[in-house]
């Protein structure tokens, strides 16, 4: 059942990204280009539309105490700003700003096809593999 809930959640997320046109890199780049005079605020509305239901979910989670398909809710991570976190955020932002894709919309955009999407997703997978390989190397 847990896998079914995960699949449905992922499909819902992908459908929302597609419906809001966030799988279109031009839409994201239009949001990031505030200096051009033709700024596209659409992404801000999509982000707001995601935050509001999440706030509701946190309120419900606080009342029910235990999730339906797990033993406990995940704990809030420690708020620490490490060089690794800052460096990763900078790399993420650089990639997002250069091509207009982040991982979720890129995976959703695979259904639309195109060389740019496949190149991005392929590069993302190689980066994930490299991270795993270097993590294993660092930890022995």
- The total domain count for the chain is 1
pLDDT at 122: 92
State the residue for tokens 């976190």. Answer: 85
pLDDT digits (tens, 9 = 90+) for 76-122: 777 888 898 899 899 888 888 888 888 888 888 888 778 888 999 99
DSSP state of 111: G
Q: What are the tens digits of pLDDT across the range 10-47?
A: 899 888 888 888 888 888 889 888 888 889 998 899 88
Q: Is the pTM of this model over 0.85?
A: no
Between CA 97 and CA 128 the distance in angstroms is 19
Among 107, 106, 86, smallest CA distance to 98 is for: 106
Instruction: Give the number of other CB atoms < 10 A from CB of residue 22.
Output: 23
Rg (CA), the chain: 18
Supply the range of the domain harboring residue 81.
2-139
């Amino acid at each position: 059942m847990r896998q079914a809930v995960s699949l449905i959640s992922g499909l819902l997320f992908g459908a929302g990204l597609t419906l809001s046109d966030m799988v279109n890199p031009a839409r994201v780049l239009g949001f990031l280009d505030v200096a051009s005079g033709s700024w596209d605020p659409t992404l801000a509305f999509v982000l707001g539309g995601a935050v509001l239901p999440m706030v509701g979910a946190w309120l419900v989670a606080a009342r029910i105490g235990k999730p339906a398909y797990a033993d406990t809710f995940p704990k809030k991570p420690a708020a620490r700003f490490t060089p690794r976190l800052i460096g990763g955020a900078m790399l993420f932002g650089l990639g997002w700003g250069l091509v207009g894709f982040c991982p979720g919309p890129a995976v959703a955009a695979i259904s639309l096809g195109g060389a740019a999407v496949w190149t991005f997703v392929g590069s993302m997978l190689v980066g994930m593999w490299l991270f795993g390989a270097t993590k294993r190397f660092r930890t022995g």
